[in-house]
Amino acid sequence: MAHKVHLLSVFGADPHGGNLAPIVADAGDMSDAEMQTVARTYGHESGFVVPAPVGSDYDFAFRFWVPNHEMEMCGHATVGALWLLRRLGQLPRNQVLIHTKSGRVNAQITTENNDVRVEITQPEGRVQALQNGQEQTEIQSILGITSSELGPFPIQNASTSRVKTLIPLINTSVLDGLQPDFRRVEAVCQRIGSTGLYPYAPFDLDNRIFDARQFPKSSGYPEDAATGIAAAALSFGLLENGIVAASEQTIRIRQGRAMGHPSEMFVRFRLDSSGGTQGCWIGGPVRYAGATEKAVTA
């Protein structure tokens, strides 16, 4: 059965950047095996738009696959799918509700000077420092860094939808120079309950700009050019460490430069009436990269 696979570059900081997101906008009749085949064919996180649960208040349901397995949530594929649905004229309104396996996701779409901006919500982040010194030493060994190259903050597991391990580095030169032992990433992530290592470093503290890299646990590729869920987790790690304040000022997180695919994600905290955080918004640039009619054979 042939399905049109739309290719979107999401979170690209320039025409060469971003993370490719193959999206199928009418995937209601696709099996799990067929969805996974799409992800394996393109080698990227792929998004699939399916009907919302019957009787619910959701507008759509989204599913996500990487080459090796299904994911509960994927930030850049969600942003890309919503951007695509608007392009196809299939969005019922500019504020919609998405069902994912990780939970409820609100989305808002705004347009200014023909520039379409998509933002999606993530819930309040959870942050916990790693207490096991042996695990921290192993992470340093995998990344090939010394204690003197770590920043003055703890290594932390943080999550909004999936747990990412935040590793503070002293500067972006150390970050750019990392040459991880990828063979050991999955095992350490399994032990610490994480889905990826996310080293980061400050670029411009006054303007809340940070650089990061993502080494996933078992996605089927060694590094990710843009990871919205990790960017959300990092924002709450920065808040926990007092590096940023709880405000609606944008946090800009840059990723993918070391891969030759410079990307950027924008995170804004959602504040309650007392000024406390109640989750965040994630957004960033989207560019249409083409479409193919793909006959899916699982």
Q: To 5 degrees, how large is the angle CA 263–CA 227–CA 3?
A: 95
Would the CA dihedral through 245, 119, 224, 260 be positive or negative? negative
As averages over each run of 10 residues, the pLDDT of the chain (298 residues) reads 89 91 95 94 94 96 95 95 96 96 95 89 97 95 97 97 96 97 96 97 98 92 92 98 96 95 96 93 93 65
Topology match between the domains 2-123+285-295 and 126-272: yes
**Closest C-alpha among 11, 37, 162 to residue 100:** 162
- Does the domain at 2-123+285-295 match CATH 1.10.3720.10? Answer given as no
pLDDT of residue 232: 97
Q: Give the 3-state secondary structure of residue 195.
A: coil
Q: To 5 degrees, how large is the angle CA 117–CA 244–CA 110?
A: 10
CA distances from 3 to 22, 132, 197 (A): 11, 48, 34
User: What is the C-alpha separation between 105 and 121, in angstroms, rounded?
Assistant: 6
User: What is the C-alpha separation between 252 and 204, in angstroms, rounded?
Assistant: 10
User: What is the C-alpha separation between 118 and 96, in angstroms, rounded?
Assistant: 11
**Closest C-alpha among 14, 121, 18 to residue 78:** 121
Architecture in CATH for domain 126-272: Roll (3.10)
**Closest C-alpha among 197, 201, 182 to residue 135:** 197
> Which DSSP string corresponds to 93-142?
SSEEEEEETTEEEEEEEEEETTEEEEEEEE---EEEE---HHHHHHHHHH
User: What is the C-alpha separation between 160 and 167, in angstroms, rounded?
Assistant: 17
**Helix then strand then coil, % of the chain, to nearest 5:** 25, 40, 35
pLDDT of residue 129: 97
Would the CA dihedral through 232, 288, 293, 91 be positive or negative? positive
pLDDT of residue 296: 63
Phi, psi of 162 (to 5 degrees): -135, 150
Cβ count near 266 (within 10 Å)? 18
Q: To 5 degrees, how large is the angle CA 46–CA 218–CA 254?
A: 65
**Residue whose structure tokens are 């090796």:** 68
Domains of the chain by residue range: 2-123+285-295, 126-272
State the virtual CA torsion across 41, 42, 46, 48 in degrees, nearest 10: -50
